[in-house]
Chains A and B, each alone.
Chain A
Amino acid sequence: MTLLKVDNLHKSFGKTKAVDGISFQVEKGEVFGLLGPNGAGKSTTISMISTLIPPAKGEILYEDRNISAEPKSIRQKLGIVPQDIALYPTLTGYENLGFWGSMYGLKGADLKIRMEEVAEIIGLNGRLKDKVQKYSGGMKRRLNIGAALLHKPELLIMDEPTVGIDPQSRNHILDTVLELNRQGMTIIYTSHYMEEVEYLCSRICIMDQGRIIASGTKDELVELIKGQTQISLKLDKPDKGVLEMLRSINGVAGVELVMDEIAVSGENVDMVLADIIARVTEYGKRISSIDVKKPNLEAVFLHLTGKALRD
């Protein structure tokens, strides 16, 4: 059953097209992923779904009801986890939860009970009396999620909820997302971390420059680059010359420098691995590490856009 339908959505800020005609559907009970680099248009899309900014064109239907026409009733069904920590740092965790619960109309005993339940879900029940400014980054992120869960939303929209936190807190959040989904909550999860989207989402839209460049299940997306293998090389001071040399090798379809790694891709490019090593050595560069990767969403993005997700 379709819970949310986004149809031909557009939004510009000045001359910048933030969202350029995207369409997708979110089914009830699924974790839907929006994957893309920073600036791809994910947050703008989320803001429009959250009724915070109106679309310039197109429509968003929630259970077949246009959210622009009746935002008030639909807002109650949505839980928004913004990318920024939208909390009051000088108040305690308890005060923050109380305030956000009251913004969704909860009060009295119902609010208190729900606050305790949420504190349990996000694993902060022992720290709610502390001021938020004393929390670690991971704890703030968890409270940021908790504030969106108080009113038991049907659709939880999470915008890059794990940015800037330690691996332990990230794992806690990812597990929380899966648990909420197991309890029946539909979730839209945006991230530029390919691993998170792969781990959590049943269906994924890949966005770039305001457009959806691919969508489907993880397997369907990987199918797009069937046979495409990626080799990551770490060299001592890679230069343009070595990149050109690698591109000239038969069987190599793409070469990109991502951070300090060279991503070499191509159909069954692992078959020419020996040739790659020999040519690099011959070029006078020392290889510090080699990693042969199976096709994944990172490779899909690289294949579709010619650039890495973290660009």
Chain B
Amino acid sequence: MKIIRIILKDFKTVLSDKKALAIILLMPIVLMVILNFGMRGVFMIGDFGDMSRINIAVVKQYDKTEDIRRFDRTLSSGILSRELDKETVEELRKNSEDVDPEEIFLGDFLGSEEVAKIIEYRVEEEGKAVELLNSGAVSAVVLLPDNFIYDMKVNILMPFRNKVDIRVLTHPDRSINGQVVQSIVEAYSDAMSSVIIGKNVLMEAAMEHDLGDDGFKGMKEAMEEISRAMEGIRVDIDNVALEGRKNISSADYYAVAMMTMFILFAAGHGGRMLLEEKENMTYQRMIAAGTPGLGILTGKFFTVFLIALLQISIMITFSHYVLKVQWGGALPVMLISLASAFSVAGVGSALAAATFKAGNYKMANIFETGVIQTMALLGGSFFPVDILPSVFQKLSFLSLNGTALKAYLKIMMGYGMEDVIGYIGVLTATGALLMVLSALILGGKGEAADVKYNKIKAVKAQG
């Protein structure tokens, strides 16, 4: 009963403190909006891979031998061969042998110096490639479709255009890398498309001027140039997220990022509460009234818990209705929110106990000005952690906001409860451990702070 009264009193006190409310509630909402609009279009969010070199898998869905055989049959029996003399057909066949679309894509394009700086590819079977994508070993899978060789040869060597759909499979957790792969393949596609148009214009012009076979005879040089430059070919590329997963927008990301960072300020605020009570003599008065110190500390724990929950509720509601952020399943979001608030309450109570024992606000100040910012950086509240140096990435597990952020993002992407239960466990266990630690700190031996406090009082009085 006493604890409930303490919580209600603390909660009223916080709500009547306009400065604290501005930091705890208003600031994150403002930053959420600013960052959302500021970062929109600059980068896609939600990526946790390695930006320095992106691993991809290339899947050959075609049968190369069959495609070549089919192309030869087309040359021999198609409408084209009836219009061309044998010498020209033979010339085209020889050209066909020299044109290898697989080599153009893998060797000339993905293996080029510029692309190889960004992408490292491996050729895999489709099943293995998807497995690698799911495990995070690769950031994207490029699917070279059925009939790829045949269609490409037709596009390169004949005056026709067959549709070639190169698909890029990405992982929602690595959507930045997926976007990079998509952009690079798109650039390839654009370059090829523009040249194939030129090739077709050349062929049509040759036919129009009745150059007939000479137009095809000159194609070998033209096609070698095309293959070297990776030009020609119209390619449609789909960027397809894994089934049932949603990519994260800047609004989604910063709604979570700001919220998980700013709930730490509730801990900072709570960290001052005990010492403030002591300085105002209300702590001593409560002790004199028979309230145990541990009870007062528990009150602070739950006050911070409620403040954090209030922050979370307001920010989720605001971002949902104003920024159109879809948070995902209500139950997992609620459980993550409770666990996050619980861990923050643990931090707040440990900080409160330590600050109380120290008898000054240095720890709370350091926490607010240094620790929160560091946690925010390491946890990905400013930028996704994957664009940080690898040393920082390794330290990101130390940030509670980072753990909460990952859990919320997973639910946003469409993962299930089983995928975030670990995060929820970590957050809850952290909160519980810190609460125990704070009880040990407060109950620990040593009267240093009391002595110091009384000395200050004595000096004040004498002065």
Interface set of A (CB-CB < 8 Å, partner B): 13-14, 16, 18, 38-39, 43-44, 47, 50-53, 72, 75-76, 78, 80, 82-88, 90-91, 95, 99-100, 102-105, 107, 131, 147
The 16 sampled A-B contact pairs (Cβ below 8 Å) are A13-B458, A14-B455, A16-B455, A38-B461, A38-B462, A50-B288, A51-B287, A51-B288, A53-B450, A82-B285, A86-B281, A86-B285, A88-B282, A91-B9, A91-B12, A103-B286
The 3 closest A-B pairs by CB, nearest first: A86-B281, A90-B16, A103-B289
Instruction: Assess the A84–B281 pair: CB atoms within 8 A.
Output: yes
Given the interface pairs A14-B451, A39-B462, A104-B290, the reply to whether A84 lies near B280 with Cβ below 8 Å is yes
CB contact between B458 and one of A39, A51, A80, A91 (< 8 Å): that residue:
A39
Instruction: Assess the B1–A102 pair: CB atoms within 8 A.
Output: yes
Q: How many residues of B contact A (CB 8 A)?
A: 28
Give A86's nearest chain B residue, CB to CB.
Answer: B281
Give A151's nearest chain B residue, CB to CB.
Answer: B289
Give B285's nearest chain A residue, CB to CB.
Answer: A86
C-alpha gap A72/B290 in the complex (Å): 6
Residues of A close to B16: CB separation below 8 A:
90-91, 131
Give B452's nearest chain A residue, CB to CB.
Answer: A13
**B2 within 8 Å of A by Cβ?**
yes
CB contact between B288 and one of A44, A52, A87, A131 (< 8 Å): that residue:
A52
Instruction: Assess the A82–B284 pair: CB atoms within 8 A.
Output: yes
C-alpha gap A76/B287 in the complex (Å): 11
**B394 within 8 Å of A by Cβ?**
no
Minimum CB–CB distance for A295 against chain B, Å: 28
CB contact between B457 and one of A43, A85, A87, A105 (< 8 Å): that residue:
A43
C-alpha gap A170/B400 in the complex (Å): 53
Give B282's nearest chain A residue, CB to CB.
Answer: A86
Q: Is the interface of B mostly helix, strand, loop or mixed?
A: helix
Instruction: Assess the B458–A18 pair: CB atoms within 8 A.
Output: yes
Give B450's nearest chain A residue, CB to CB.
Answer: A53
Residues of B close to A107: CB separation below 8 A:
1
CB contact between A103 and one of B281, B291, B447, B451 (< 8 Å): that residue:
B291
**B13 within 8 Å of A by Cβ?**
yes
Given the interface pairs A38-B461, A86-B281, the reply to whether A103 lies near B5 with Cβ below 8 Å is yes
Contact with A along B430-463 (1 / 0, CB 8 A): 0000000000000000010011001101100110
Residues of A close to B451: CB separation below 8 A:
13-14
**B17 within 8 Å of A by Cβ?**
yes
Minimum CB–CB distance for A233 against chain B, Å: 27
Given contacts A13-B455, A102-B1, 20 further A-B contacts (CB under 8 A): A13-B454, A16-B455, A38-B462, A39-B461, A47-B284, A50-B284, A50-B288, A51-B287, A52-B287, A52-B288, A72-B290, A80-B289, A84-B280, A88-B280, A88-B282, A90-B17, A99-B5, A99-B9, A103-B289, A131-B16
Residues of B close to A72: CB separation below 8 A:
290
